[in-house]
Structure 1
Protein backbone atom coordinates (compact mmCIF):
# COMPACT_ATOMS: atom_id res chain seq x y z
CA UNK A 1 0.00 0.00 0.00
CA UNK A 2 2.83 2.40 0.93
CA UNK A 3 4.62 1.62 -2.37
CA UNK A 4 1.46 2.39 -4.33
CA UNK A 5 1.11 5.77 -2.57
CA UNK A 6 4.74 6.61 -3.35
CA UNK A 7 4.26 5.71 -7.00
CA UNK A 8 1.07 7.81 -7.20
CA UNK A 9 2.80 10.72 -5.45
CA UNK A 10 5.79 10.51 -7.82
CA UNK A 11 3.44 10.43 -10.82
CA UNK A 12 1.58 13.50 -9.53
CA UNK A 13 4.83 15.43 -9.00
CA UNK A 14 6.10 14.47 -12.47
CA UNK A 15 2.80 15.49 -14.09
CA UNK A 16 2.82 18.82 -12.25
CA UNK A 17 6.43 19.50 -13.29
CA UNK A 18 5.70 18.68 -16.94
CA UNK A 19 2.57 20.83 -16.93
CA UNK A 20 4.46 23.75 -15.39
CA UNK A 21 7.29 23.43 -17.92
CA UNK A 22 4.86 23.22 -20.85
CA UNK A 23 2.92 26.25 -19.61
CA UNK A 24 6.10 28.27 -19.14
CA UNK A 25 7.34 27.34 -22.62
CA UNK A 26 4.02 28.23 -24.21
CA UNK A 27 3.84 31.59 -22.47
CA UNK A 28 7.44 32.68 -23.01
CA UNK A 29 8.43 34.54 -26.18
CA UNK A 30 9.99 32.50 -28.96
CA UNK A 31 13.75 32.43 -28.70
CA UNK A 32 15.47 34.36 -31.45
CA UNK A 33 12.41 36.41 -32.44
CA UNK A 34 12.04 40.03 -31.35
CA UNK A 35 8.73 40.83 -29.65
CA UNK A 36 6.21 42.52 -31.96
CA UNK A 37 8.65 42.29 -34.91
CA UNK A 38 6.75 41.04 -37.97
CA UNK A 39 8.21 38.14 -39.93
CA UNK A 40 7.34 36.50 -43.23
CA UNK A 41 6.99 32.75 -43.17
CA UNK A 42 7.40 31.41 -46.71
CA UNK A 43 6.00 27.99 -47.54
CA UNK A 44 6.75 25.59 -50.39
CA UNK A 45 3.67 23.65 -51.47
CA UNK A 46 3.40 20.42 -53.43
CA UNK A 47 6.58 19.68 -55.35
CA UNK A 48 8.29 22.77 -53.91
CA UNK A 49 7.86 24.96 -56.99
CA UNK A 50 4.79 26.70 -55.58
CA UNK A 51 5.40 29.19 -52.78
CA UNK A 52 3.36 31.64 -50.74
CA UNK A 53 4.10 33.79 -47.69
CA UNK A 54 2.29 34.83 -44.53
CA UNK A 55 3.12 37.77 -42.22
CA UNK A 56 2.97 37.17 -38.46
CA UNK A 57 4.41 38.55 -35.26
CA UNK A 58 2.92 35.86 -33.00
CA UNK A 59 5.76 34.33 -30.93
CA UNK A 60 4.18 30.86 -30.65
CA UNK A 61 3.49 30.70 -34.39
CA UNK A 62 7.04 31.82 -35.15
CA UNK A 63 8.51 29.28 -32.73
CA UNK A 64 6.50 26.49 -34.35
CA UNK A 65 7.54 27.66 -37.83
CA UNK A 66 11.19 27.64 -36.73
CA UNK A 67 10.79 24.12 -35.36
CA UNK A 68 9.21 22.94 -38.62
CA UNK A 69 11.98 24.63 -40.63
CA UNK A 70 14.85 23.08 -38.70
CA UNK A 71 13.48 19.60 -37.99
CA UNK A 72 10.76 17.17 -38.90
CA UNK A 73 8.71 16.84 -35.69
CA UNK A 74 6.96 13.53 -35.26
CA UNK A 75 3.87 15.15 -33.80
CA UNK A 76 2.13 18.44 -33.33
CA UNK A 77 0.47 20.93 -35.62
CA UNK A 78 2.17 21.37 -38.99
CA UNK A 79 -0.57 22.47 -41.45
CA UNK A 80 -0.59 26.26 -42.00
CA UNK A 81 -4.13 27.57 -41.65
CA UNK A 82 -5.45 31.07 -42.27
CA UNK A 83 -8.26 33.23 -43.62
CA UNK A 84 -7.99 34.35 -47.24
CA UNK A 85 -8.08 38.13 -47.77
CA UNK A 86 -9.19 38.97 -51.33
CA UNK A 87 -6.62 41.64 -52.11
CA UNK A 88 -2.98 41.59 -53.16
CA UNK A 89 -0.23 42.22 -50.63
CA UNK A 90 3.51 42.77 -51.05
CA UNK A 91 3.88 39.99 -48.47
CA UNK A 92 2.49 37.43 -50.94
CA UNK A 93 3.82 38.50 -54.36
CA UNK A 94 2.33 37.04 -57.51
CA UNK A 95 -1.14 36.49 -56.08
CA UNK A 96 -4.31 38.59 -55.80
CA UNK A 97 -4.82 37.40 -52.23
CA UNK A 98 -2.99 37.01 -48.95
CA UNK A 99 -3.54 35.34 -45.59
CA UNK A 100 -4.78 37.45 -42.70
CA UNK A 101 -2.11 37.64 -39.98
CA UNK A 102 -4.90 37.67 -37.38
CA UNK A 103 -5.62 34.10 -36.43
CA UNK A 104 -3.01 32.49 -38.68
CA UNK A 105 -1.78 29.31 -36.99
CA UNK A 106 -0.57 25.76 -37.51
CA UNK A 107 -3.22 23.06 -37.21
CA UNK A 108 -3.07 19.28 -36.82
CA UNK A 109 -5.32 18.81 -39.86
CA UNK A 110 -7.22 20.92 -42.34
CA UNK A 111 -10.45 20.51 -44.25
CA UNK A 112 -10.13 19.14 -47.77
CA UNK A 113 -11.95 22.28 -48.94
CA UNK A 114 -8.95 24.47 -48.04
CA UNK A 115 -6.18 22.22 -49.42
CA UNK A 116 -4.69 23.34 -52.75
CA UNK A 117 -1.60 24.78 -54.37
CA UNK A 118 -1.42 28.60 -54.23
CA UNK A 119 -2.32 28.99 -57.93
CA UNK A 120 -5.70 27.38 -57.22
CA UNK A 121 -6.70 30.12 -54.78
CA UNK A 122 -8.85 32.45 -56.88
CA UNK A 123 -12.54 33.39 -57.20
CA UNK A 124 -14.79 30.50 -58.15
CA UNK A 125 -12.62 27.71 -56.71
CA UNK A 126 -13.66 25.60 -53.74
CA UNK A 127 -10.80 26.99 -51.64
CA UNK A 128 -11.86 30.57 -52.37
CA UNK A 129 -15.49 29.85 -51.49
CA UNK A 130 -14.41 28.10 -48.28
CA UNK A 131 -12.52 31.27 -47.28
CA UNK A 132 -9.57 29.58 -45.62
CA UNK A 133 -6.33 28.20 -46.99
CA UNK A 134 -4.62 25.17 -45.42
CA UNK A 135 -2.32 23.38 -47.87
CA UNK A 136 -1.56 19.97 -46.37
CA UNK A 137 1.73 19.56 -48.26
CA UNK A 138 3.13 22.98 -47.25
CA UNK A 139 6.62 23.02 -45.75
CA UNK A 140 8.27 26.02 -44.12
CA UNK A 141 10.99 27.19 -46.53
CA UNK A 142 12.20 30.36 -44.78
CA UNK A 143 11.45 32.87 -42.06
CA UNK A 144 12.64 36.45 -42.45
CA UNK A 145 12.02 39.71 -40.60
CA UNK A 146 10.09 42.44 -42.42
CA UNK A 147 9.35 46.11 -41.81
CA UNK A 148 6.31 46.81 -39.63
Structure 2
Protein backbone atom coordinates (compact mmCIF):
# COMPACT_ATOMS: atom_id res chain seq x y z
CA UNK A 1 0.00 0.00 0.00
CA UNK A 2 2.80 2.41 0.87
CA UNK A 3 4.50 1.80 -2.50
CA UNK A 4 1.28 2.64 -4.33
CA UNK A 5 0.97 5.94 -2.44
CA UNK A 6 4.58 6.80 -3.22
CA UNK A 7 4.05 6.00 -6.92
CA UNK A 8 0.97 8.24 -7.04
CA UNK A 9 2.82 11.04 -5.24
CA UNK A 10 5.69 10.71 -7.72
CA UNK A 11 3.25 10.84 -10.63
CA UNK A 12 1.74 14.03 -9.21
CA UNK A 13 5.20 15.54 -8.83
CA UNK A 14 5.98 14.77 -12.46
CA UNK A 15 2.75 16.36 -13.58
CA UNK A 16 0.85 13.25 -14.67
CA UNK A 17 -2.09 14.10 -12.44
CA UNK A 18 -2.27 17.58 -13.92
CA UNK A 19 -3.31 15.84 -17.14
CA UNK A 20 -6.03 13.99 -15.24
CA UNK A 21 -4.64 10.56 -16.02
CA UNK A 22 -3.15 7.89 -13.76
CA UNK A 23 -2.51 4.55 -15.50
CA UNK A 24 -3.89 1.55 -13.65
CA UNK A 25 -0.55 -0.19 -14.03
CA UNK A 26 1.47 2.69 -12.52
CA UNK A 27 2.77 0.48 -9.72
CA UNK A 28 1.65 -2.49 -7.73
CA UNK A 29 2.03 -3.04 -3.99
CA UNK A 30 5.30 -4.89 -4.56
CA UNK A 31 6.69 -1.73 -6.15
CA UNK A 32 7.02 -3.15 -9.66
CA UNK A 33 5.96 -1.16 -12.69
CA UNK A 34 5.19 -3.14 -15.86
CA UNK A 35 6.49 -1.50 -19.01
CA UNK A 36 4.01 -0.49 -21.69
CA UNK A 37 4.07 -3.04 -24.47
CA UNK A 38 5.10 -6.00 -22.31
CA UNK A 39 3.09 -9.20 -22.87
CA UNK A 40 -0.21 -9.42 -21.04
CA UNK A 41 -0.20 -11.37 -17.79
CA UNK A 42 -2.39 -14.09 -19.30
CA UNK A 43 -0.18 -14.43 -22.39
CA UNK A 44 -2.79 -13.05 -24.82
CA UNK A 45 -1.72 -11.08 -27.84
CA UNK A 46 -3.43 -9.04 -30.53
CA UNK A 47 -6.53 -7.09 -29.71
CA UNK A 48 -9.91 -7.40 -28.02
CA UNK A 49 -13.22 -5.64 -28.51
CA UNK A 50 -14.65 -4.84 -25.09
CA UNK A 51 -18.32 -4.04 -24.57
CA UNK A 52 -18.59 -1.47 -21.79
CA UNK A 53 -21.69 -0.55 -19.82
CA UNK A 54 -21.79 2.85 -18.17
CA UNK A 55 -23.92 2.76 -15.02
CA UNK A 56 -26.80 0.37 -14.37
CA UNK A 57 -28.71 0.93 -17.64
CA UNK A 58 -27.87 -1.58 -20.40
CA UNK A 59 -28.84 1.09 -22.95
CA UNK A 60 -25.62 2.92 -22.05
CA UNK A 61 -23.21 0.51 -23.71
CA UNK A 62 -20.43 1.10 -26.20
CA UNK A 63 -17.66 -1.00 -27.72
CA UNK A 64 -13.94 -0.25 -27.77
CA UNK A 65 -10.95 -1.90 -29.44
CA UNK A 66 -8.03 -2.44 -27.06
CA UNK A 67 -4.59 -3.31 -28.47
CA UNK A 68 -2.08 -2.55 -25.71
CA UNK A 69 -1.21 -5.81 -23.87
CA UNK A 70 -1.18 -4.16 -20.43
CA UNK A 71 -4.56 -2.53 -21.14
CA UNK A 72 -5.95 -5.86 -22.37
CA UNK A 73 -4.92 -7.46 -19.07
CA UNK A 74 -6.69 -4.66 -17.18
CA UNK A 75 -9.81 -5.04 -19.36
CA UNK A 76 -9.87 -8.76 -18.51
CA UNK A 77 -9.47 -8.02 -14.79
CA UNK A 78 -12.28 -5.43 -14.91
CA UNK A 79 -14.54 -7.94 -16.66
CA UNK A 80 -13.70 -10.70 -14.16
CA UNK A 81 -14.07 -8.39 -11.16
CA UNK A 82 -10.56 -9.24 -9.96
CA UNK A 83 -9.06 -5.74 -9.93
CA UNK A 84 -7.38 -4.68 -6.73
CA UNK A 85 -8.37 -1.08 -7.50
CA UNK A 86 -11.38 -0.15 -9.68
CA UNK A 87 -10.49 1.09 -13.15
CA UNK A 88 -12.32 2.65 -16.06
CA UNK A 89 -11.36 3.17 -19.69
CA UNK A 90 -9.94 6.32 -21.20
CA UNK A 91 -9.33 6.85 -24.89
CA UNK A 92 -9.14 9.52 -27.55
CA UNK A 93 -12.50 10.25 -29.20
CA UNK A 94 -12.52 9.98 -33.00
CA UNK A 95 -15.71 10.95 -34.82
CA UNK A 96 -16.51 8.80 -37.85
CA UNK A 97 -17.18 5.10 -38.29
CA UNK A 98 -13.52 4.00 -38.26
CA UNK A 99 -13.24 0.24 -38.01
CA UNK A 100 -16.95 -0.12 -37.21
CA UNK A 101 -16.25 -1.63 -33.78
CA UNK A 102 -18.50 0.82 -31.92
CA UNK A 103 -21.75 -0.08 -33.64
CA UNK A 104 -24.66 2.29 -33.11
CA UNK A 105 -22.46 5.36 -32.64
CA UNK A 106 -20.72 7.81 -34.95
CA UNK A 107 -17.51 7.75 -32.87
CA UNK A 108 -14.93 5.33 -31.53
CA UNK A 109 -11.96 5.41 -29.15
CA UNK A 110 -8.27 5.04 -29.93
CA UNK A 111 -5.29 4.58 -27.60
CA UNK A 112 -7.51 2.95 -24.96
CA UNK A 113 -6.05 2.42 -21.50
CA UNK A 114 -7.61 1.46 -18.16
CA UNK A 115 -7.04 4.03 -15.40
CA UNK A 116 -7.86 4.46 -11.73
CA UNK A 117 -8.46 8.21 -11.90
CA UNK A 118 -9.22 10.75 -14.59
CA UNK A 119 -10.48 14.30 -14.91
CA UNK A 120 -14.24 14.84 -14.65
CA UNK A 121 -14.29 16.73 -17.95
CA UNK A 122 -14.11 13.43 -19.91
CA UNK A 123 -16.71 11.53 -17.82
CA UNK A 124 -20.26 10.90 -19.05
CA UNK A 125 -22.60 8.60 -20.90
CA UNK A 126 -21.91 7.33 -24.45
CA UNK A 127 -24.84 9.46 -25.63
CA UNK A 128 -22.98 12.56 -24.37
CA UNK A 129 -20.09 11.71 -26.70
CA UNK A 130 -22.57 11.14 -29.54
CA UNK A 131 -24.04 14.64 -28.94
CA UNK A 132 -20.52 16.15 -28.71
CA UNK A 133 -21.35 17.13 -25.10
CA UNK A 134 -18.05 15.78 -23.74
CA UNK A 135 -15.79 18.83 -24.00
CA UNK A 136 -12.55 16.88 -23.77
CA UNK A 137 -10.79 15.07 -26.62
CA UNK A 138 -10.88 12.03 -24.32
CA UNK A 139 -13.71 9.86 -23.04
CA UNK A 140 -13.37 8.31 -19.57
CA UNK A 141 -16.67 7.07 -18.14
CA UNK A 142 -16.12 6.66 -14.40
CA UNK A 143 -19.09 4.28 -13.94
CA UNK A 144 -17.88 1.93 -16.70
CA UNK A 145 -17.80 -1.85 -16.34
CA UNK A 146 -16.59 -4.27 -19.01
CA UNK A 147 -19.53 -6.65 -19.62
CA UNK A 148 -18.19 -8.66 -22.58
CA UNK A 149 -14.90 -9.32 -24.38
CA UNK A 150 -14.54 -10.47 -27.98
CA UNK A 151 -11.20 -11.79 -29.22
CA UNK A 152 -10.10 -10.30 -32.56
Aligned to 2:125: 117
Q: Structure 1's 29 and 45: CA in aligned 2 closer, same or farther, altered over 3 A? A: same
Q: Does 1:66 align with 2:72?
A: no
Distance 1:97 1:118 in 2: 10
Aligned to 1:33: 44
**Of 89, 99, 117, the match for 2:109:** 99
Gaps of 5+ in 2: 1-29
**Of 114, 122, 136, the match for 1:130:** 136
Structure with the higher fraction of residues in helix conformation = 1
SS in 1 for 2:118: coil
Shift of 1:70: 1.0
The range that moved more, 104-113 or 78-87, is 104-113
Gaps of 5+ in 1: 1-17
1:27-56 deviation digits (Å, cap 9, x = unpaired): 75221513xx22101111111411111112
Distance 1:124 1:59 in 2: 30
TM-score, with structure 2 as normaliser: 0.69
Matched positions, count: 120
SS in 2 for 1:61: helix
Distance 1:28 1:114 in 2: 27
TM-score, with structure 1 as normaliser: 0.71
1:68-96 deviation digits (Å, cap 9, x = unpaired): 11124342x60210110011241000001
The range that moved more, 109-118 or 66-75, is 66-75
CA RMSD of aligned residues (A): 2.2
